[in-house]
Amino acid sequence: MDKSSHISVVLDLSPSQWHLSSLPHNPYPLSFKSFLSQVLAFLNLHIASKHENTLAVFGAFPGKSVMLYSSSNPASDSSDSGNPNIYRPFEIVDSRVVTRIEEELELIDDKEEEAPIGLVGALTKALCYINRITHPTTSTQSTIVEDPAILPDPRILILSVSPDLSTSYIPIMNSIFSAQKLKVIIDVCKVYGPNTVFLEQAAHLTGGSYVYLERRDALLQHLVMSHLPSPALRKLMAVPTQEKIDFRAACFCHKNIIDVGFVCSVCLSIFCAPVPVCSTCRTKFPIKTLQRLNASRAPALRPVNGAAKTSAPSTPSLPSTPR
Partner 1 sequence: MPPRKDNEYIDADSDSDVDILDESGNRGRKSKGKAIDRRRKDKGKGKSSEQPYAWEASYARSWDTVQEDEAGSLTTAVADLLARNRRRRLLAPANAIRRTIIRHLIIILDLSLSMMDRDMRPTRFDLSLEYAREFIVEWFDQNPLGQIGLVGMRAGLGERLSEMSGNSQDVLKAISERHKLEPAGEPSLQNAVEMARGSMGHLPTHSSREILIIFGSLTTVDPGNIHDTLEACIRDRIRVSVVALAAEMKVCRDFCDKTGGQFGVAMNEGHFKDLLFELIPPPAQRVLSRAAGAGATNPAADLMVMGFPVRLPDTSLPALCVCHSELKSEGFLCPRCSAKVCDVPTDCDICGLMIVSSPHLARSYHHLFPVKPYQAIISLEEGSAFAKSCHACARSFPDAPTSTFTATAEGMSPLGRYRCPDCHHDFCTECDVFVHDVVHCCPGCGK
Site for Zn ion in 241-300 (CB under 5 A): 251, 253-254, 264, 266-267, 269, 272, 278, 280-281, 283
- Cβ proximity to partner 1: between 182 and 220 the closer is 182
DSSP secondary structure of 54-110: EEEEEEEEBTEEEEEEESSS--S-TTSPPPTTS-HHHHHHHHHHHHHHHHHHHH--T
Name which of partner 1, Zn ion, none residue 251 binds, using a CB cut-off of 5 to 8 Å depending on partner kind: Zn ion
Give the SS3 label for residue 59: strand
Task: Report the site for partner 1 in 61-90 (rule: CB under 8 A).
Answer: 65, 67, 70, 73
Residue 204, φ and ψ in degrees, nearest 5: -65, -45
Other CB atoms within 10 Å distance of the CB of residue 52: 12
- Cβ proximity to partner 1: between 97 and 219 the closer is 97
- Cβ proximity to Zn ion: between 224 and 253 the closer is 253
| 4 closest CA partner among 181, 148, 142, 203 | 148
Based on the shown chain and the rule CB under 8 A, indicate whether residue 168 belongs to the binding site for partner 1.
yes
Task: Report the site for partner 1 in 197-226 (rule: CB under 8 A).
Answer: 201, 204-207
Which one of 16, 26, 83, 167 is in contact with partner 1 (CB under 8 A)?
167
Distance from C-alpha of 170 to C-alpha of 61, rounded to nearest angstrom: 20
Distance from C-alpha of 235 to C-alpha of 153, rounded to nearest angstrom: 15
- Cβ proximity to partner 1: between 30 and 176 the closer is 176
Name which of partner 1, Zn ion, none residue 20 binds, using a CB cut-off of 5 to 8 Å depending on partner kind: none
Which one of 91, 113, 146, 246 is in contact with partner 1 (CB under 8 A)?
246
Task: Report the site for partner 1 in 257-276 (rule: CB under 8 A).
Answer: 258-271, 274-275
Distance from C-alpha of 95 to C-alpha of 7, rounded to nearest angstrom: 19
In whole angstroms, how close is the CB of 219 to partner 1 at the nearest point? 23
**To which H or E segment does residue 56 belong?**
strand 54-61
- Cβ proximity to Zn ion: between 127 and 272 the closer is 272
Based on the shown chain and the rule CB under 8 A, indicate whether residue 25 belongs to the binding site for partner 1.
no
